[in-house]
Amino acid sequence: MTAAATATPPRNPGLRATVARSVRVYRVILGLAFDAARAKAVALFGAAALFGMFGAVTGLVTKLVVDALSSGHPGRAMGVGVLYLVLTGAGALLDDLSTLLQSDLGEQTSQAVEQKLMAVASAAAGLEHLERPEYADKVKLVRDRSFIPYFAFTNLNSFSSIVFGLAAAVVLLGFVHPLLILLPVVVAPGVALQFNAYRKHFMRHDSVALDERLARHYLELATEPGPAKEIRLFGLGPHLIERHRVLTEAYNGMLFRDQLRRTWAGITAGGLYGAGLAGAIGFVGWLALDRRATFGDVALTVQVARMAIGQVQSAARQAAWLAELSFTGERYLWLLDYRPNVVAKPAGQAVPAPERIRTGIAFDHVSFTYPGTDAPVLTDVSLFLPAGTTVALVGENGAGKTSLVKLLCRFYDPTAGRVTVDGVDLRDLDLDGWRERTGAAFQDFVHFQLVASEAVGVGDLPAVEDLERVGASARQAGADRVIDRLPDGMSTQLGRWFKDGVDLSEGEWQRVALARGLMRPAPALLVLDEPTASLDPRAEHEVFATFAAMSRRDGTGGSGSGSGPVTILVSHRFSTVRMADLIVVLHDGRIEEQGSHDELLAAGGRYAQLFRMQASRY
Amino acid sequence: MEQPTPRDELVANGRGLGLVARSSPGLAAALLACTVVAGGAPALAVGATGQFLGRLPEAIRLGSGSPAGHQVRGALVLIAVAVFVSQIVGPIQNSVLFGLQRRFEAYLSRRLMAATVALPGLAYFEDPEFRDELSVAHWIGFGPVHTLQFVTQVFQSGSQLLAMAAVAAEYAGWVPVLVLVSALPGGIASWRFESITGLARWRRSEDTRRADYYRNLAVMREPGKELRVFGLAPWARARQSLHWLAGIKEMLALRRKGLLAVLWLHALAVAGLAAAYVIMLRSTIAGHTSVGRFTAASIAAVGLSTSIVMLFRQAAQARRSSFYLPSAMRVLDLAKAEPRLDVAGTRPARQLTRTGIRFEDVTFAYPGTRRTILDHLDLDIEAGTSVALVGENGAGKTTLVKLLCRFYDPTGGRITLDGVDIRELDLVDLRSRMAVIFQDFVHYQLPARDNVGFGALEVADQEPLLREAAARVGILDQLEALPQGWDTPLAREFGGVDLSGGEWQRVALARAMMAEVGRDADLLVLDEPTASLDVRVENELYGHFAELSRGRTTLLVSHRFSTVRMAGRIVLLADGRVVEDGTHEELVAAGGRYAELYEVQASHYRLTGSLE
């Protein structure tokens, strides 16, 4: 479909490719942990190797004490005994310190994941990735498991513990009797069994993701403030609860039955481990009774064999964890590898964005189809938006108005044709610079849960603390009256997400969004995508009077005669539309007619028809 | 949020475990059974190993046929049994725990849903404290199952500990006592340390939530456009980082301070252990004790000392996963404790003689605020007529609708339906008479069938009714043309399609119509029903309006005067009162505020001069 599809691994890759990819997944997520806190990570890694051998060493020391006692060397026994105690004390100390370091590292790593996610998601210049459900899915998954890189790190540490521990154990057991070297080999099939069971478990888990999201939606519908009115009015509560029950019981039941089936693998593996351990102790006990082993050997075997079995078991768990790690890691990698289809040119190669538009913005045979869909939303659109004018986009729902705006802001690139600013292809323009020259208020504006001055000021970040400019924008959009009514004025926390937040009505939020859209000091492009749907008539009138004045502020006014900002206005209200210098009527993704209000009315086409329809009711 | 008292915690934990048991009694019982069986096994292994090591030197000396040899063989069998039991019960226990966790999580979600939808009004949603508790309650996931899991671990470690103490006591009773007494302070300190840092993690929630908010700004779809146009990404990242740091600072400091105390006390534990060990070793060297006994007792003593610290750590983890519980319990109790809306009314609303709606001297301010929204408002709406409410933003139009739906009760005055105070009416019955579209209607991410059918659940399976409701607002053809027709989810994330704003609005209108056709709702309330509609659709709706509202008492709220004129009578609200009331022509003729507002909008249409 798009380049992103190639980032997903093919269905049946060769073993080598699978291994190479797993190694990459592991390396990338481990990299997050090491980058988050390198010194702590290295210290913990070293400690893990020491810990691994700790059991074997104490086992050996125990044996030495016992053998010294048995063979009548009291001095040596006491000396080795003291060594044993020192080791025990050092082990306890090391354990406490690693606990501390681990907690720190865990948090720092999660935070590194959050930051990385933000960087990845916001680095893409376009919107296509965010509007793809698969992308949202993966972001959510990685976000919910931001602890995974830390787990990958502990996983790595466990492996190092296991390797060192098992090596030490095998050497010691080999000295007791060469046959004991085989102990880890005997129980190895158990590892394979358990690993497989775990892996299947995680795969099955992935298959219920959609149902889980639906259950989450039911929960939100029932408990969140937004839907509360309808839920009560239509009496939907009990019904939603019942649906939640049926849904969750179905998928939980399925997952549980699956899990139960896999219990056998665990039990079989457990049986093997048990047989290995009991067999080893019994075998050495028998050797001792036969005087082919010392009592010290037995004491050593009891401790070391148990530890070795524990290590093997832990190896199975950790290997299975690898499956879970690679499950999340794959998604993380998918996000990292995602090739957005809008790519900003590097600042060096890009044409600097114009300070002000000289001639205008042109659509040159532009067609556009949303990625992953078949139906074109814009077909062969050619259009010139002269500098210094206000252009209204008119059309019925779904005519392509919002898509056209999205191309102008370069959230998407056209499928065919090009958009040019003063003759320069938008794709060649310095994108950051272009956006710094863009002010916008969208239909689905953000309800920023910030303090009022910031909710306006983020429209031009460098001026976010410039209360004078924030105030001026607020006045222009009529948001000053909203803010004046707030308990702490400009410093009032807006929205109900945070402490002491004051929620606004939809119309009030809209004024804040408008004020934000007006923050850019010298915009080249001003986009107003249905910004007044929730405003009352008086407010709407004021707002548009302001805009009409603004778009003429820098230019010489009139129809495209000067240089200055292009103001794009999307609206269903003809009272608003008719104020524009140029009106463009879209229908089914094509331009049907364009001209001034009077021209279009005289032409008697769709515009005239729609205008009269609305006017007839006044 | 306040920090819960230990008593609160204990009570909440008890209830949490009760919920676990209720969520899945069979699995909870199975988990307990596994715990008892698996809990005994490690203890048995420790005891048998002690016996084995203790008797082995004698068995070696006297030969395997001696009584000591028999004991050694017996101990070996016991070791094997213990090892097999714990290896086999372990996987079963894990599976049971998995099932229990998932079921409990779903069960708790349902209980939270039930507790929330049982609140008849909306006052709680205005209450930040409630919202905090609700969101905290969402976090607990399977917390109580973790608690249960840790309790079972504590049980297993505890029984193992006793077995070790018994083996050590074979040497002398004072050995386990000395080891225990010296390890106890360290254990308690560990417990406190873990609890305190856990509590700090819980308390930073405000900063954590802010950090999450900034994170979401950068990674979610909805803010994507503004984030890019305004170049907010680096700012959002910086903010996220700031709040994360603020949230974690206190905990980092606590952790370092706590650890120092723990280190000293662990040194004490090691000292106690060392004393016991050296005394035992000397007595063995002196020949007072056999090598076997010494070996068994010393291994047990070391195990005992480390196990105590482990035990307390596990107990602390059990406590950490229960900090959220008191919040969840308060949410579960809300409807029972204080619904904030009196729902004692039982009069059936359906059998009344339809006379209409009256607002009598109604005054209202939102709970917890001082601003009066409605101020001694009087309004009389005769049954079967339609009234449009107009007024500037904040005049109280939507509030009036909310009071009529009885999401809140007036602070003063009363609202009557057919002559009866709506507080006396059965609430479900009252609401079943209403067909409403709210300004901020819900976008259900569910199939089209549900999006329309939710207007009258009891008949939502009757397709002719769905079709009629959709046809009335002109969305039928679009819905039936969807890829899976009525079963198409209206959300791309669920494998369906996304609708445009105007299409959503008509779906929401169809839902209100469903209440009309499906449950014969006779009170039609339309709050800004045309805000996202294009001219043609609005015009169609205008054409249908007479039919939609025939025989219904209709309340229409809108800014669009073209929409307002659908109603026969117009009421202008300002500052929480009715200031003008009459037909469009009357109000225009009166030359008051309505005429002025109307003029502002209408002038755009009239000034053309080129209308026929």
Check whether B610 has a pLDDT greater than 80.
no
Q: Which residues of B82-100 are buried (b: 16+ CB within 10 A; e: fewer)?
A: bbbbbbbbbbbbebbbbbb
DSSP string covering B493-554, please?
GGTS-PPPHHHHHHHHHHHHHHHHHHH---EEEEESTTTT--HHHHHHHHHHHHHHTTTSEE
**Residue B571 burial class via C-beta count within 10 angstroms: exposed 0-12, middle 13-18, buried 19 and up:** buried
By the 8 A CB rule, do A70 and A295 touch? yes
Please indicate whether, in this complex, the C-beta atoms of A66 and B394 are within 8 angstroms of each other. Answer: no
Please indicate whether, in this complex, the C-beta atoms of A536 and B393 are within 8 angstroms of each other. Answer: yes
Instruction: Give me the percent of chain B exceeding a pLDDT of 70.
Output: 95
Minimum distance, in Å, between the CA of residue B281 and any CA atom of chain A: 7
CA torsion, ordered A386, A390, A395, A399, to nearest 10 deg: 50
Measured between beta carbons, the chain A residues lying within 8 angstroms of B229 are 409, 435, 438-440, 527
Tell me B347's DSSP state: B
Please indicate whether, in this complex, the C-beta atoms of B88 and A210 are within 8 angstroms of each other. Answer: no
Measured between beta carbons, the chain A residues lying within 8 angstroms of B84 are 270-271, 274-275, 278
Grade residue A558 by pLDDT with cuts at 50, 70 and 90: very low
pLDDT at residue A552, rounded to an integer: 61
Please indicate whether, in this complex, the C-beta atoms of B236 and A103 are within 8 angstroms of each other. Answer: no
Please provide the average confidence, as pLDDT, over all residues in chain B: 86
Please provide the average confidence, as pLDDT, over all residues in chain A: 85
The mean pLDDT value for A515-520 works out to: 92
pLDDT at residue B141, rounded to an integer: 62
Average the pLDDT over each of A160-169, A569-578, B13-22 and give the range with the smallest value.
A569-578
Tell me A270's DSSP state: H
Q: Please give the residue that has the higher pLDDT: either A562 or B547.
A: B547
Q: What is the ipTM of this complex?
A: 0.87
The mean pLDDT value for A325-336 works out to: 84
Q: Which residues of A223-260 are buried (b: 16+ CB within 10 A; e: fewer)?
A: bbbebbbbbbbbbbbebbbebbbebbeebbeebbebbe
Residue of B299, A275, B54 lying closest to A283 (CA atoms): A275
Please indicate whether, in this complex, the C-beta atoms of A70 and B223 are within 8 angstroms of each other. Answer: no
Measured between beta carbons, the chain A residues lying within 8 angstroms of B72 are 285, 289
In chain A, the residue whose alpha carbon lies closest to the alpha carbon of B442 is A227
Sign for the CA dihedral angle at A233, A238, A244, A247 comes to negative
The mean pLDDT value for B497-515 works out to: 89
The mean pLDDT value for A291-300 works out to: 89
The mean pLDDT value for A110-138 works out to: 85
CA neighbours within 13 Å on the CB side: how many for B349? 24
Distance (Å, whole) CA B280 – CA B465: 88
Grade residue B463 by pLDDT with cuts at 50, 70 and 90: very high
Check whether B611 has a pLDDT greater than 60.
no
pLDDT at residue B273, rounded to an integer: 93
Instruction: Give me the percent of chain A exceeding a pLDDT of 70.
Output: 93
Across the interface, which of A77, A527, A611 has its CB nearest the CB of B281? A77
Distance (Å, whole) CA B89 – CA A64: 35
Q: Please give the residue that has the higher pLDDT: either B103 or A574.
A: B103
By the 8 A CB rule, do B92 and A198 touch? no
Please indicate whether, in this complex, the C-beta atoms of A118 and B233 are within 8 angstroms of each other. Answer: yes
By the 8 A CB rule, do B413 and B421 touch? no
Across the interface, which of B98, B500, B560 has its CB nearest the CB of A259? B98
pLDDT at residue B479, rounded to an integer: 95
Distance of CA A432 to the CA centre of its chain: 23
The mean pLDDT value for A22-27 works out to: 84
Measured between beta carbons, the chain B residues lying within 8 angstroms of A228 are 122, 125
Measured between beta carbons, the chain A residues lying within 8 angstroms of B527 are none
Which helix (H) or strand (E) segment holds residue A368: the answer is strand A360-369
Check whether A456 has a pLDDT greater than 80.
yes
Minimum distance, in Å, between the CA of residue A15 and any CA atom of chain B: 30
Grade residue A8 by pLDDT with cuts at 50, 70 and 90: very low
**Residue A38 burial class via C-beta count within 10 angstroms: exposed 0-12, middle 13-18, buried 19 and up:** exposed
Please indicate whether, in this complex, the C-beta atoms of B233 and A123 are within 8 angstroms of each other. Answer: yes
By the 8 A CB rule, do B405 and B527 touch? no
In chain B, the residue whose alpha carbon lies closest to the alpha carbon of A395 is B534
Which of A116, A122, A504 best probes binding to B when mutated, by most B CB atoms within 10 angstroms? A122
pLDDT digits (tens, 9 = 90+) for A598-618: 999 999 998 998 888 878 777
pLDDT at residue B573, rounded to an integer: 92
Measured between beta carbons, the chain B residues lying within 8 angstroms of A89 are 267, 270, 274
Please indicate whether, in this complex, the C-beta atoms of B559 and A537 are within 8 angstroms of each other. Answer: yes
The mean pLDDT value for B186-197 works out to: 83
pLDDT digits (tens, 9 = 90+) for B13-47: 888 888 888 989 999 999 888 888 877 888 898 89
pLDDT at residue B490, rounded to an integer: 93
Minimum distance, in Å, between the CA of residue A343 and any CA atom of chain B: 13
In chain B, the residue whose alpha carbon lies closest to the alpha carbon of A283 is B76
Q: Taking the model in full, what pTM does it have?
A: 0.82
Q: Please name the residues in contact with B535: beta carbons below 8 A apart, sequence gap of 6 or more.
A: A396, A572, A574, A610, A613, A614
pLDDT at residue B510, rounded to an integer: 94
Please indicate whether, in this complex, the C-beta atoms of A461 and B285 are within 8 angstroms of each other. Answer: no
Minimum distance, in Å, between the CA of residue B583 and any CA atom of chain A: 14
Check whether A418 has a pLDDT greater than 60.
yes
pLDDT digits (tens, 9 = 90+) for A357-389: 899 999 999 999 988 788 899 999 999 999 988
Across the interface, which of B292, B597, B606 has its CB nearest the CB of A537? B597
pLDDT digits (tens, 9 = 90+) for B298-326: 989 998 998 888 888 888 877 777 777 88
Amino acid at the residue B367:
P
Please indicate whether, in this complex, the C-beta atoms of B534 and A256 are within 8 angstroms of each other. Answer: no
Which of A78, A108, A118 best probes binding to B when mutated, by most B CB atoms within 10 angstroms? A118
Please indicate whether, in this complex, the C-beta atoms of B230 and A578 are within 8 angstroms of each other. Answer: no
Q: Please name the residues in contact with B540: beta carbons below 8 A apart, sequence gap of 6 or more.
A: B474
DSSP string covering B258-323, please?
HHHHHHHHHHHHHHHHHHHHHHHHHHHHTTSS-HHHHHHHHHHHHHHHHHHHHHHHHHHHHHHTTT
Measured between beta carbons, the chain A residues lying within 8 angstroms of B284 are 69, 77
In chain B, the residue whose alpha carbon lies closest to the alpha carbon of A125 is B228
Please indicate whether, in this complex, the C-beta atoms of B535 and A572 are within 8 angstroms of each other. Answer: yes
Please indicate whether, in this complex, the C-beta atoms of B57 and A70 are within 8 angstroms of each other. Answer: yes
Sign for the CA dihedral angle at B136, B139, B142, B145 comes to negative
Q: How many degrees, rounded to 5, is the angle at CA A163 between CA A157 and CA A165?
A: 95
pLDDT at residue B480, rounded to an integer: 95
Minimum distance, in Å, between the CA of residue A2 and any CA atom of chain B: 18
pLDDT at residue B416, rounded to an integer: 95
Check whether A5 has a pLDDT greater than 60.
no
Average the pLDDT over each of A346-355, B239-248, B274-283 and give the range with the smallest value.
A346-355
pLDDT at residue A612, rounded to an integer: 85
Tell me how far CA of residue A113 lies from CA of A35, A93, B136, in angstroms: 11, 31, 23
Which of B83, B248, B477, B545 best probes binding to A when mutated, by most A CB atoms within 10 angstroms? B83
Please indicate whether, in this complex, the C-beta atoms of B608 and A218 are within 8 angstroms of each other. Answer: no
pLDDT at residue B139, rounded to an integer: 64
Grade residue A3 by pLDDT with cuts at 50, 70 and 90: very low
Measured between beta carbons, the chain B residues lying within 8 angstroms of A238 are 117
pLDDT digits (tens, 9 = 90+) for A231-264: 998 999 999 999 999 999 999 999 999 888 888 8
The mean pLDDT value for B56-84 works out to: 88
Please indicate whether, in this complex, the C-beta atoms of A274 and B88 are within 8 angstroms of each other. Answer: yes
Torsional class of A495: left (φ above 0), alpha (ψ -120 to 50), beta (otherwise): left
pLDDT at residue B606, rounded to an integer: 67
pLDDT at residue A562, rounded to an integer: 55
Q: How many degrees, rounded to 5, is the angle at CA B601 between CA B597 and CA B606?
A: 125
pLDDT at residue A538, rounded to an integer: 67
Distance (Å, whole) CA B506 – CA B500: 10
Q: Please name the residues in contact with A440: beta carbons below 8 A apart, sequence gap of 6 or more.
A: A409, A517, A526, A527, A528, A529, B225, B226, B229
By the 8 A CB rule, do B528 and B557 touch? yes
DSSP string covering A508-523, please?
HHHHHHHHHHT--SS-
In chain B, the residue whose alpha carbon lies closest to the alpha carbon of A74 is B285
Please indicate whether, in this complex, the C-beta atoms of B231 and A263 are within 8 angstroms of each other. Answer: no
Ranges of beta strands (E only) in A296-336 are none
Grade residue B335 by pLDDT with cuts at 50, 70 and 90: low
Grade residue B465 by pLDDT with cuts at 50, 70 and 90: very high
Ranges of beta strands (E only) in A306-358 are none
Rg (CA), chain B: 36
Q: Which residues of A270-305 are buried (b: 16+ CB within 10 A; e: fewer)?
A: bbbbbbbbbbbbbbbbebbbeeebbbbbbbbbbbbb
Distance (Å, whole) CA A273 – CA B78: 16
pLDDT digits (tens, 9 = 90+) for A428-450: 999 989 999 999 998 889 999 99
Grade residue B130 by pLDDT with cuts at 50, 70 and 90: confident
Please indicate whether, in this complex, the C-beta atoms of A274 and B87 are within 8 angstroms of each other. Answer: yes
Measured between beta carbons, the chain B residues lying within 8 angstroms of A229 are 122, 402, 405, 407, 438
Check whether B429 has a pLDDT greater than 50.
yes
Check whether B353 has a pLDDT greater than 50.
yes
Which of B109, B230, B268, B454 best probes binding to A when mutated, by most A CB atoms within 10 angstroms? B230
